[in-house]
Every structure is written in structure tokens, then in C-alpha cells.
Homo-oligomer: A and B are copies of this chain.
Amino acid sequence: MDKRPIALAEIYHLLNPGPVVLVSVEHGGRDNLFPVSWVMPACDDPPVAALLVAREHFSFPLLEASGELGLNLPTLPILDAVYGCGKTSGREVPDKFARFGLHRERATTITAPLVAECVAGIECRVDRIHDVEGSALILARAVAARAAPDCFRDGEWRFEAGLVLCHHLNGARFCLSERAVTARRP
């Protein structure tokens, strides 16, 4: 998908509406993908994202050792692949890109690949990790990002061209954002 670089100041708007994110990691020649819905912006300037990752997941050591991760924004056409990435482990599936029909896209500042079929990708470096009841609360500094201009332009998600964002509900259920409204100023 054709994507263009976006400004650092615009990155947090990609995560504001709380969509599910497909995380990409790589270390020592091995990469992996897993969906995360517990992710949010934690700062706009500098751009920082916060996300929860279970330490026992196959991807956690890759993420921890490389200190890098990609946050890829999927939309409805690849929702089954996103869900599949979460229902399988890198321990059993050596190549989740191949298994779920996704393609690697080279990042500019990190080794982990981005996901070509996603409408936006954020390149991050791990800043700090806090513990929350045994899970890793990761604070990751965004260092670069790109987005498909028909979906995200001038710092705004655009729904005119058919964009459908996916938000995780429970199990295999997701709710969908298909339109935007503007609240009235007080």
C-alpha cells in the first residue's frame, strides 16, 4: 500500500481512537507479528506510545533484545489475519506474514519490518518497561511513521474513501469505526 511519511507531531492521532494494532518485532533474523488492543498514546511531544505485552509471549524476548517494535494500523480487509496472528504463537508458526497472507515492508529506522497491508506504520524504540501485575507496560518512543494519504492526511483519519478502523471487543469480536462526527463547541 502506498504510504508517505508523516510528521512526528501527527503520530499520536493514529492511536487516539483506540484501534487494534498489529505489532511487528525482529531480532537476530527472526520476526513475528501479534495484535495488541491495550495500546494508547502516552505523550504527543515527543511521541510516546504505551502498550501491554505478556512476558511469556514468544515475541517479548525479541522486542526486549532489539529494543524496537513496529505499530501497524490494520483495517477491516485484513481483520481475519490480525485475529489469526493473535490466536497463533510464533513458537508454532515460523512466519506469520506468510501464514496470514501479509507482506513485509522495510522500515526506515528499525530492523523490524512493517506490514505492507496496513494503512499506517509507526517505528518505535523501547524507552522504559514498567511492571503491571507481571505483564510488561512498555513505553515506546515513536521515531518515524508513514500512512496511506487517502486514510490519514494532515494529522487526521479520513473516512471518505472507505476506511474502517477495528477496535477489539472480546474474543473474536471487534467493533468498527466507519464515520466521523464533529462535536459542538461549548
Residues of A within 8 A of B (CB): 13, 16-19, 37-43, 45-46, 48, 50, 52, 76, 79-80, 82-84, 87-88, 99-100, 130, 132-133, 135, 137, 139, 155-157, 159, 165, 167-170, 172-186
One of B42, B52, B169 near A157 (C-beta < 8 A): B169
Neighbouring B residues of A167 by C-beta, 8 Å: 16-18, 165, 167, 177
Whether B182 pairs with A173 at a CB distance below 8 angstroms is: yes
Whether B80 pairs with A184 at a CB distance below 8 angstroms is: yes
What is the oligomeric copy number? 2
The chain B residue with its CB closest to the CB of A135 is B43
One of B46, B79, B88 near A181 (C-beta < 8 A): B79
Neighbouring B residues of A37 by C-beta, 8 Å: 16-18, 40
Whether B87 pairs with A185 at a CB distance below 8 angstroms is: yes
Chain B nearest CB from A147 CB (Å) reads: 13
CA distance A34 to B186 in the complex (A): 14
Whether A182 pairs with B172 at a CB distance below 8 angstroms is: yes
The chain B residue with its CB closest to the CB of A179 is B176
One of B76, B139, B157, B181 near A176 (C-beta < 8 A): B181
Whether B156 pairs with A186 at a CB distance below 8 angstroms is: no
20 CB contacts below 8 A, A to B, read: A16-B38, A16-B169, A16-B170, A18-B18, A18-B19, A38-B42, A39-B40, A40-B40, A42-B135, A48-B133, A76-B181, A79-B183, A82-B183, A100-B186, A165-B167, A173-B181, A174-B182, A176-B179, A177-B177, A178-B178
